[in-house]
Amino acid sequence: MRDDIPVLSIVGFSGSGKTTLLEKLIPELRRRGYRVAVIKHHPHPGAETDVPGTDTWRLVRTGADHVTLVTPDQVVHWKRREAEPPLQEIVAEIREVDLILTEGFKRERFPKIEVHRAPAASALASRPEELIAIASDRRLDLPVPQFDLDDVEGLVDLIEKTFLRR
């Protein structure tokens, strides 16, 4: 497995459809044989990450610095932090995948696909020079490849060509 796993951020304003787009991109990437990691940014502290009342939920609330849940088909880590870690630190912990997708992190310096909907936002959430594409419900006057929000195959073709040459 490569040490230099490519990172691509899916960015946009709140409610633009970032998660919805990821829900379409990931199965198509998997269908094409790629292993994918996702890092989701949640800008507010105290997000619920487990079902209230379960054993892991109770253990996380004890104040343990690290709690790991192991099941036959997954491993989940909860790691207490004083501050949000840099994205590069989280990326460095991920192995055994072909591509790391992030949701959010619009201020980070990774290549991006911006999800843009009219009329919710006229401005972009990121700088055009950081974009490899825009997924939108309308055409924007920008020199960046643009795709319809439902053109999953076209977006994955671009991701494959840009990051996943085998």
Domain ranges within the chain, ordered by starting residue: 7-45+82-163
Distance of CA 160 to the CA centre of its chain: 16
Contact residues for 59 (Cβ-Cβ < 8 A; gap 6+): 67
What's the mean pLDDT in 79-97? 87
- Phi and psi at 107, nearest 5°, equal -90, -10
Q: Given a cut of 70, is residue 44 above it in pLDDT?
A: no
Of the candidate ranges 15-24, 29-38, 65-74, the one whose mean pLDDT is the lowest? 65-74
pLDDT band with cut points at 50, 70 and 90 for residue 52: confident
Contact residues for 134 (Cβ-Cβ < 8 A; gap 6+): 113, 114, 116, 124, 140, 142, 144, 145, 146, 147
pLDDT, greater one: 62 or 136: 136
What's the mean pLDDT in 23-27? 97
| Average pLDDT score over the chain | 88
Residues 7-45+82-163, CATH architecture: 3-Layer(aba) Sandwich (3.40)
For 48, the token pair is 């619920």
pLDDT at 1: 43
pLDDT at 151: 98
pTM: 0.85
